[in-house]
Amino acid sequence: MRVGGPIKNADEAARLPLIGWGDGTSGIKAADWLARATLATAVVYRTSSLVNQGLAARAGIGVALLPCHLGDGDRGLERALADPVAELATELWMVTHRDLKNAARVRAFFDVVGGGMSLAACRK
Split the chain (124 residues) into runs of 10 and give each run's mean pLDDT.
57 78 90 85 93 95 88 86 78 88 92 72 59
Q: How far is CA 51 from CA 10, 37, 54, 98, in A?
A: 27, 22, 5, 30
Is residue 90 within 8 Å of 28, Cβ to Cβ?
Answer: no
Three-class secondary structure of residue 22 per DSSP: coil
Find the helix or strand (DSSP H, E) in which 10 lies.
Answer: helix 10-14
Q: What pLDDT is stored for residue 119 in this prediction?
A: 58
Domain residue limits, the chain:
10-88, 91-124
> What was the pLDDT predicted at 60?
93
pLDDT at residue 114, rounded to an integer: 76
| Residue of 43, 63, 41, 42 whose CA lies nearest to 53 | 63
> Is pTM beyond 0.75 here?
no
3-class DSSP state of 122: coil
- Cα separation, 50 vs 120, in Å, equals 21
Give the span between the Cα atoms of 4 and 30, in whole angstroms.
22
pLDDT at 4: 56
Q: What pLDDT score does 115 carry?
A: 72
